[in-house]
Amino acid sequence: MSRLCFDYGHGGEDSGACYNGRKESDDVLSIGRAVAEEVKRYGVTVDETRSSDATVSLNDRSNFENRNTYDYFISFHRNGFKPEVARGVETYTYLNARAKSKSLAGKIQTSLVALGFTDRGVKEANYHVLRETKAPAVLVEIGFIDNSGDNALFDSKRSEIIKGLAKAILAQVGVDYIEVSAPTQAESGQTLYRVMAGSYSVRENAEKQVKKLKSSGFDACIMIFN
């Protein structure tokens, strides 16, 4: 199974970008750890360069990653420029990055743009955590912390951001994300949660998906809808 290294930017004495009492270090720790919990549900191992509001140097971050072998290194950030001037998301790879880095960056960027963030594109940069890490690496800037519109999206669509990032990361490592539908009320009054893992016009394809889910330990069956 895949092993990932998650890096939550700044922390401790380094708050990162700040605006109206809001800290980048807090935002990325919160959202990043939630994404980690989501992907871990699928058996993916996630190690974190920090798990609290602690000061971690750039060297400590890259050294942490270099001590192990990871499939990907993902650094979470929020941008800053001038109050209410810039907005949007951008995802970075190192200069002349490997195909795997570019592929993951593209998936992450697409997932966030789909939620309403302005698309600032996939870019290259000579950042320490991209340059000094061994695994294919990306750094994502989840909107501008000094833009009220981006903050509104970050807060109101928190669950969608977590889900979108998790889906993008899982897709890159070859794991299918399983959608959980809204709860329905059973006749007995008990709330049930139905899990959807795809809809198929060909029964054979549906049967293959059920077999795949069962082999992964999920209880699955075919339900017919007209």
3-state DSSP assignment of residue 216: coil
> Residues 24, 48, 141, 160: which is the catalytic one?
141
- Catalytic, 141? Answer yes
Q: Tokens 């907005």, residue?
A: 87
CB atoms within 10 A of CB 132: 17
* Cβ proximity of 109 and 121 under 8 Å: yes
Q: What is the spatial distance between Cα 200 and Cα 211, in angstroms, rounded to a whole number?
A: 14
Q: What is the spatial distance between Cα 115 and Cα 21, in angstroms, rounded to a whole number?
A: 25
Q: Which residue, 20, 30, 11, is CA-closest to 142?
A: 30
Q: Which residue, 72, 153, 94, is CA-closest to 118?
A: 153
Q: Which residues are catalytic?
A: 141
